[in-house]
Amino acid sequence: MPKAMNLTYGDLIILEIALVVYLKDLDLSMQSGQYLSEVLGKIEFNLAELREAAGTQLGAGLQHKEEPQVAT
């Protein structure tokens, strides 16, 4: 069974830029253009998921914890 490829956020950005550059000269009415456009949508979706997951992880780790007050 093939292993899934785990692409990082940076990997996906590079793929997105490469596809956009490639798509600028491609006829999007052709089947190949439509398919590559769908792939670009999948990359955007994965980038959004990674961004959201990173925000959730950072948000939980950076919460301010109040020190207990000592009565004087």
Query: Side-chain half-sphere of 34: how many Cα atoms within 13 Å?
Result: 3
pTM as predicted: 0.67
Contact call for residues 32 and 19 (beta carbons, < 8 A): no
Q: What is the pLDDT of residue 4?
A: 75
Farthest CA pair distance, the chain: 77
Averages of pLDDT over each 10 residues, the chain, 72 residues: 81 94 89 93 94 73 60 62
> What span, in angstroms and rounded, lies between the C-alpha atoms of 62 and 56?
10
What are the residue boundaries of the structural domains of the chain, listed by start? 27-58
Q: What is the pLDDT of residue 57?
A: 65
Contact call for residues 29 and 67 (beta carbons, < 8 A): no
